[in-house]
Amino acid sequence: MFEDLFLFFEKRYNREKNRLKDDYIINESIEKIYTNKYRKSEYCIYLCLPTLVEYEVDLFKYLNKNKYNHFFSIEDYEQLMFIILTTFDFDPQNKINNRLKFLSLKNLFYFNSLKRNKFIEFDMQKELFDNFLISHSSSEEYLKLFKLINNKIFYKNSDISVLTLNKLYFSFVKENKIYKKEKISLEDLIFTEKIIDKVLKCILGVEHLKNTIYLKHINSFFNLYYDDKEYIYQILDKSLDKYILSSWKNFNYNTSIFYGSENNDKIEYYQSPKKRYNRQEKLEAEYFIDMFIFYCINEVNDIDKVNKIIKSDFHKKHLFNIICCHPFFIYNKRKKDNLSVYLNNIII
């Protein structure tokens, strides 16, 4: 069930309209139809999550009784669960964050299989988790609360034993039948618990996805990274025309990321004027460039290498604009400190 959600999400992302039945086992009570303001029907995963703020005293008594003594805020933890669940809830009006959030999660799942000796220059796991939260549009205050370090999730710099907390949280809900008061079916509650438990275990490296097809984009990228780095730049060059920068005013279904609120002719000048794309090819190009920015753009030498290998000035300028506008760069202090001034001088 859990792994089917991966392919289910990507089917929705690619706008495939057919109802998924035979190959995708989706709980009928959880799969809902909703209509957005453009009257286009899509399927989304609606996952039921209780809230225990009003049961705070009883919950902490229950936790203490079960020898769980870590400090945390119920509201903050429930927000983390909500962020996890909505990763699989495709919203066509928020497709850019959907893509970046889903990609960040898949990279987190892949993290424990990486040959990390080649990435000692920065803490990938921590930054991937930050990207996951950022792509949900979490507030700056919230981003400071949760950190993922060495396969442990910390809340306010304290390890909160998140797997134990999650198990006790849902046990409390079931034992006290709180799901009934909130009009949540037991079936939906159990499904929700399983999704959160599986995601947390895969993030922490306790479990792994059985079928690596769900991580094919990640796997393909790292096969090249370790075995044929030069070919990465050839794919990068071919992918750039499919990566579209737009202002918030000019948002359309082809937009890959935003560059700001107002139109900027200099940015628009360096990208492809093409209007129609193969959706799967475009998504793969976006995934590739997103990963390239995260893994391969860290130091001035990385920018110099792009300048040297990619021949087209148009493509180089477009790539540098993408980097400067990309959330993986904008919200990454390490990258900005290393590269902002140098990039700005190149672009001007």
pLDDT interval class at 28 (50, 70, 90): very low
| Domain boundaries, given as residue ranges, for the chain | 2-213, 228-347
85-103 tens-digit pLDDT: 888 776 667 889 989 999 9
Measured CA distances, 85 to 71, 78, 191 (Å): 23, 10, 11
pLDDT interval class at 171 (50, 70, 90): very high
pLDDT for the residue 2: 61
The Cα–Cα gap between 244 and 241 comes to 7
Report the range of poorest mean pLDDT among 17-31, 118-132, 228-242.
17-31
Cβ-Cβ contacts under 8 Å for 23 (sequence gap 6 or more): none
pLDDT for the residue 132: 96
pLDDT interval class at 9 (50, 70, 90): low
pLDDT for the residue 160: 96
pLDDT for the residue 27: 39
199-254 tens-digit pLDDT: 999 999 998 877 666 677 788 888 888 788 788 999 999 999 999 999 988 887 78
> Residue 309 pLDDT > 60, yes or no?
yes
In 32-71, which ranges are continuous DSSP H helix?
56-65
> Residue 35 pLDDT > 70, yes or no?
no
pLDDT for the residue 224: 85
Plot region of 310 (φ>0 → left; ψ -120 to 50 → alpha; else → beta): beta
Tokens of 313: 């000035």
pTM confidence score: 0.86
The Cα–Cα gap between 146 and 35 comes to 34
> Residue 117 pLDDT > 60, yes or no?
no
pLDDT for the residue 272: 78
Query: 43 and 20 in contact (C-beta within 8 Å)?
Result: yes
> Residue 316 pLDDT > 70, yes or no?
yes
37-75 tens-digit pLDDT: 323 434 344 557 888 999 999 999 999 999 999 999 999
Query: 72 and 160 in contact (C-beta within 8 Å)?
Result: yes
Cβ-Cβ contacts under 8 Å for 135 (sequence gap 6 or more): 97, 100, 101, 104, 327
What angle do helix axes 333-347 and 300-309 make, rounded to 10 degrees? 40
In 204-332, which ranges are continuous DSSP H helix?
216-227, 229-239, 265-269, 279-296, 300-309, 313-325, 327-330
DSSP letter, residue 210: S
